[in-house]
């Protein structure tokens, strides 16, 4: 009887790789890291990193950076979520800056049109809120959430 060679499975989207799923054992999990969120504390910190953009708008990267720096060696789960949130918040700095330039430029040269800059700032803040909540919900469920639009600066 001929048995076809079994190919290693790939993890489902949003799931961490498991041993025997086509990943080198040495790549994941890394020494000292928990593979799954080990405690409610991990989930809480991951959610804080995602939800920081809701409150701080243009400065949402700052709490995510703090969570990343403090927790990056304690849990792969928190490190992943903090780096995702940080990358997303840093990516949002580009449209925030452009929106502020539009707001200030129109405010100086065409004051009646400066509302356009305000609307742009609000739109990008709304995106930060929506994706931050999605990230926090994913973290709360134990998923390894990735933002669809983020420049991956921090790994």
Residue listed under structure tokens 């890291």: 33
Residues 6+ positions from 55 with CB-CB distance below 8 Å: none
pLDDT of residue 134: 92
Cα-trace Rg, the chain = 20
pLDDT in tens, 9-21: 544 545 555 554 4
Residue listed under structure tokens 């926090």: 136
Cα–Cα dist 102/104, whole Å = 6
Cα–Cα dist 8/142, whole Å = 23
Cα–Cα dist 41/49, whole Å = 12
Residue listed under structure tokens 């430029």: 105
pLDDT of residue 30: 43
pLDDT of 24 above 70: no
Considering the entire predicted model, what is its pTM?
0.68
- How many other CB atoms are there within 10 angstroms of residue 123's CB atom? 12
């Amino acid at each position: 009887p001929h048995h076809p060679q079994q190919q290693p499975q790939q993890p489902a989207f949003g799931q961490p790789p498991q041993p025997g799923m086509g990943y080198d054992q040495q790549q994941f999990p890394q020494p000292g890291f928990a593979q799954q969120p080990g405690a409610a504390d991990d989930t809480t910190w991951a959610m804080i990193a995602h939800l920081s953009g809701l409150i701080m708008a243009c400065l949402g990267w700052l709490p995510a950076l703090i969570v990343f720096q403090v927790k990056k060696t304690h849990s792969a789960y928190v490190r992943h979520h903090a780096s995702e949130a940080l990358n997303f918040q840093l990516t949002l700095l580009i449209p925030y800056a452009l929106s502020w330039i539009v707001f200030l430029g129109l405010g100086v040269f065409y004051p009646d049109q400066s509302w356009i800059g305000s609307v742009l700032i609000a739109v990008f803040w709304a995106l930060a809120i929506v994706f931050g909540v999605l990230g926090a919900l994913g973290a709360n469920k134990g998923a390894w959430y990735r933002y669809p639009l983020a420049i991956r600066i921090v790994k």
